[in-house]
Structure 1
């Protein structure tokens, strides 16, 4: 069996900006790893401006996070900078805001905001607060989710799967709908080892299968972080850290992801290219176990979570098992009606190896040779015409891109 490869972008296009380590929750599964940054004063607006100007030529989407990003002393200032530089961004927050009316009204004025990702770790106060560690946080979060959605802001719920919410998967989905949020992203637990809150492998596998069944029934659910396909087959996609994504911490350091303490350069003193091509980042990319490259699921999975492997002193993701050597189930099928018109719903980026189609967190590589098919996905050309011009190969490409969510069929 030949080894599988993952294409590395020449520069990251997805960024998490950790504005501050400060937080008003005390989550038992907190993943923040920048302990040495907690004693430092927060980076100034001038410092962040320098970083934003460096990432602007490459940034497809920036996520503001923390800690709790709204506790950054100059939060409105950095959002204003994103607006001035016309950089698209999302806000990852716990929803426990000190001035919720002001925040929502302010965010409504920023067209570059693509949406809010709000942490809600249960459908009841007991379940959520068992994770958040703060009494009353459930009510505050739920109230502010509703405030945001009623103001017209797009909201996705982020829920970590833990022992106290294992029986609430469907209830969390129901609450998501009731609050007017668009989706719920379920995440595996990636925090410190804690048997009181961390689910067993069997419990996690059952939860993933339930979420996947809901997704296949059309429910607005998805997976927010990587779950190896050799652990349980699902629609979870692999981590893009070091491939298309990186984190910038409160000190300006580039790290592969927000779960890893590995520093690969500092954007206050270095270019994006220098940090992205640094020896440290190359070492991170080389941490994928060799056996994973032989797995048929590697292009989707990317080898699982390297940060957890490093944290636990393991050679691979603790959930990873034996590599898959054959497809575990037939590929998802999509019906193409010849009268439909495919429409591109992506931004196009050119790399040495071909094009990259970007939509939200989705990154789909396409060969240069397929540019004519992409051009035909213009909302005017029918699938029948594409089939006549490009044959089965062209229709297959359209079907794949539709499954990946970067082309819409109308």
Structure 2
């Protein structure tokens, strides 16, 4: 890296330094057990093991995060609705002034009485995953027959008036259904239609399925095409941009950012230390994709209070130490001097565990057609 680029990276870090001093969101992986088997899920690295977080540990983490100033608690898995103490965890969060949110495959939310009880306990938001616009695609990707359950869950969220979004993970097996899904969900009255992309995970067994992952340039082409069509049809969606923004044509990207159809890289908490993930065994992760690859462990370090957590989190072995320094680097020379640098961060770093950045950055946004 040149001296000039080092200075630019340093300025980027200083610019966001304030954001790096406060945790806004925490994720509780209550259990890695799941009743779906989605191929791109980070939980595959856990083997979907049924070893739930002890309720007392979950309560302790909620209290600790409240003391640390966190505002949002996301309940994840595996599938969090399979956790038998879910209601108590939500109630605990509410008692500590934390907005408790659920990331779910939606199957148990198909029971409207169950969803109503979650809301009564204090649930503030539900993110419901759906893996295709048609039953065949969704069921194939989840290895279930759950499509109709998910549709009922979405309708139940709508009918009970709880805040919710839908989420599809774009991959090689469902990219052609991005537009049809948006049209279908729009017809149901869904206002918050979100898309993210399939990513590699870390670990020795994490080599992704070539039949599942799209490369970043292919993803950019899918996003660009979907935006132009959906905007023309008056359907609002949002894409989480975990690919380099320069892969999208500049004039289209500017319009997408202006219309709020795409997030820039600033939403990724690992670069600013604004989010933290807790595994059932006490592991502390910088991101959900780091399954079984902790920065440190609460139990092994005897951490029960926010002060002890802060000492580790902001220390050299935490996200604000060597980990953060390793993250803030240019994945490609094109990032140097790019006007989007600091917001776009050259794509999710997990992409470059599998894809060659030199090859990907040579592709122009919109020029790469999936399957060509």
Normalising by structure 2, we get a TM-score of: 0.76
Match of 1:132 in 2: 142
1:289-327 superposed Cα distances (whole Å, 9 cap, x missing partner): 3454643212211332123434x4x7x8688627x9xxx
Q: Determine if contact 2:242/2:348 at 8 Å carries over to the other structure.
A: yes
Q: Determine if contact 2:139/2:147 at 8 Å carries over to the other structure.
A: yes
Match of 2:285 in 1: 255
C-alpha distance in structure 1 between counterparts of 2:113 and 2:194, whole Å: 26
Higher relative contact order (Cα pairs below 8 Å, separated by 6+ residues): 2
- Residues 1:168 and 2:205 are matched in the alignment: no
How far 1:33 moved relative to its partner?
Answer: 6.2
- Residues 1:230 and 2:246 are matched in the alignment: yes
Change (3 A) 1:206 1:318: same
Change (3 A) 1:94 1:36: closer
How far 1:189 moved relative to its partner?
Answer: 1.1
1:91-110 superposed Cα distances (whole Å, 9 cap, x missing partner): 11001118723321112324
Match of 2:213 in 1: 198
Q: Secondary structure in 2 aligned to 1:279?
A: coil
Structure 1 spans left out of the alignment, 5+ residues: 329-410
Match of 1:212 in 2: 227
C-alpha distance in structure 1 between counterparts of 2:44 and 2:172, whole Å: 23
How far 1:66 moved relative to its partner?
Answer: 0.7
Structure 2 spans left out of the alignment, 5+ residues: 201-206, 254-261, 366-372
Q: Secondary structure in 2 aligned to 1:77?
A: helix
Q: Determine if contact 2:283/2:296 at 8 Å carries over to the other structure.
A: yes
1:97-176 paired onto structure 2 within 5 Å: 97=108, 100-111=111-122, 113-134=123-144, 136-176=145-185
How far 1:202 moved relative to its partner?
Answer: 5.0
Match of 2:315 in 1: 278
- The correspondence for 2:347, drawn from 288, 300, 304, is 304
How far 1:165 moved relative to its partner?
Answer: 2.2
Q: Secondary structure in 1 aligned to 2:61?
A: helix
Larger Rg: 1
C-alpha distance in structure 2 between counterparts of 1:149 and 1:304, whole Å: 33
How far 1:216 moved relative to its partner?
Answer: 5.4
User: How many residues are matched?
Assistant: 319
